[in-house]
Structure 1
Amino acid sequence: MSQPYRLLATLGALLGWFGLVLQFWMSARQTGGVLAGLWLLLGFYTILTNLLVAAALTATAIGPRGVVTRFFLRPGVQTALAMSITIVGLIYNVMLRGLWHPEGWLLLADVIVHDVMPVLYLVYWWLAVAKSDLRWSQVLVWQSYPAAYFLYVLLRGASDGRYPYPFLDVPTLGYLQVLIDACFVLLAFICVGLVLVAVGRWQARRHGMKRYPRPAI
């Protein structure tokens, strides 16, 4: 990978980890304890996805040094993360932004994880991720992460009564409506995944044509 892209990944990783640490610090202050703050944060898809994105950018910054970094450097994994972080930004800005009004350091952390990191990671994905091996069938495989999160949220909510998002609030909506909401969100994931694969395959073909121009007849 060229040095400019590695520099972009390094800066993105540093910003991502900073935003997550800031979120953790504010959460610990609000809940009155480190463990309580961590437990609260780990219920949010936003936080989990930003953790994975920061890990992927870190893997790019340091290079393939083991099984974990090689996993995060796989184009399919990085495209799946691009899908997930895009959904984070879209759902927050379309459905959730008006539900609360953070200030100060919390506002900064909120902007980093919901606005800056989705855009930054998509720019990184466009510039630095190889896309020639992307396949349509991978989109369905990528849904295992949001599907697993949905089950995780239901189990957490059943144990502590907390549901991180209004459209997953079982006590208010009931399981049937939450399942319907989850299906619509999953459809959004699939649509974004398909768009990314389409754009990625187009980009790969375009670069291939530039690298290997058709000979004149």
Structure 2
Amino acid sequence: MLLTAYRTPLRPPLCHDLRMRSRAGTAARTLVRGLRLVFAVTAVAAIASIPMGADVAAGFSYVNFFSYFTIQSNVLAVGVLLAGAVWDPTSDRWQLVRGAVTTYLVITAVVYAVLLSDIDVMLDDRWSNSILHQVIPLVLVLDWLLVPPRRPIGLVRAPTWLVYPLVYASYSLIRGAWIGWYPYPFLDPWDKGYPRLMLDLVVLGAVMAVLAFGVAAIGDLSGRLRRRDTDDVRDVRPLGP
């Protein structure tokens, strides 16, 4: 009875604290989903503004337009942001998709900053250029950090995210040899030859692998810190194959 007397006054504050945490969590999720929708619409506007402002009579090609990695990766980002805003999936498979698309946007930002910032890649509009190469990549990274996967991705799964860039490079080289047009200078073999091109692609692939591992690692670290702060002791095994 003595223990009961001491414990009883602690229950109402504890329940109140749990209710406050629940309300704060709901408000935070609502805010995140709203921001996802805003940035998805922003990305769509940036993508659509390019062909709308292009001179079709001067030879603008929609096939070439959608052959840019920047455009493809941002289209994927729009899909992830919209899905997160409307449905907010939490399955393990969806976390892998989020991690993959986040990696592609990081690749877009890094490759642009290092190799393409002073080169004409059909993005003359500064607003669209900034949105697609800087803002949306940053948004995807922040979304990955603030809403990390509940279970660790693990470094074993990260290399699977590189399948799409490999397919993209193969598509660009095959199509480029066929029509005589390459979306990016570093994919064009005519000036430097195929041996140098292959070497450059190996180096670029290694950089992409580091970026993929980095995205997986920061997602796992953020998830670990989040679970520690919330005392979440659910299954934290790495995602299975």
Per the normalisation by structure 2, the TM-score is 0.77
Partner of 2:5: none
How far does the alpha carbon of each residue in 1:105-149 deviate from its partner, in whole angstroms, 9 at most, with x for none? x22211111111111221122122425231211111111010000
Verify the 8 A CA contact 1:12 1:117 in the aligned structure 2.
Answer: yes
Q: Which runs of 5+ in 2 are unaligned?
A: 1-25, 234-241
Partner of 2:31: 4
Verify the 8 A CA contact 1:131 1:200 in the aligned structure 2.
Answer: no
How far does the alpha carbon of each residue in 1:180-217 deviate from its partner, in whole angstroms, 9 at most, with x for none? 11111111111011112111111111112222289xxx
Q: Distance in 2 between matches of 1:184 and 1:124?
A: 28
Q: Distance in 1 between matches of 2:61 and 2:208?
A: 28
Q: Which moved more, 1:92-101 or 1:140-149?
A: 92-101
Partner of 2:169: 150
- Which amino acid counterpart does residue 96 of structure 1 have in structure 2? L
Residue 144 of structure 2: which of 125, 149, 170 is its match?
A: 125
Q: Distance in 2 between matches of 1:141 and 1:102?
A: 30
Q: Distance in 2 between matches of 1:71 and 1:175?
A: 42
Deviating beyond 6 angstroms after TM superposition, the runs of 4 or more aligned structure 1 residues are 69-73, 101-104
- Higher Rg: 2
- Which amino acid counterpart does residue 185 of structure 1 have in structure 2? L
Equivalent positions of 1:73-112 (< 5 A) are: 74-100=94-120, 106-112=125-131
Per the normalisation by structure 1, the TM-score is 0.85
Tell me the CA shift for residue 31 of structure 1.
5.6
- Identity of aligned pairs, percent? 22
Partner of 1:185: 204
Tell me the CA shift for residue 164 of structure 1.
1.3
2:80 equivalent to 1:61: no
Q: Which moved more, 1:126-135 or 1:5-14?
A: 126-135
Tell me the CA shift for residue 24 of structure 1.
2.4
Which structure's residues are more often helix, by fraction?
Answer: 1
Residue 62 of structure 2: which of 35, 38, 53 is its match?
A: 38
Tell me the CA shift for residue 103 of structure 1.
8.4
Q: Distance in 2 between matches of 1:71 and 1:205?
A: 17
Distance 1:31 1:183, change over 3 A: farther
Distance 1:168 1:160, change over 3 A: same
Distance 1:13 1:213, change over 3 A: closer
Distance 1:22 1:188, change over 3 A: same
Q: Distance in 2 between matches of 1:103 and 1:41?
A: 10
Q: Which runs of 5+ in 1 are unaligned?
A: none
Verify the 8 A CA contact 2:158 2:212 in the aligned structure 1.
Answer: yes
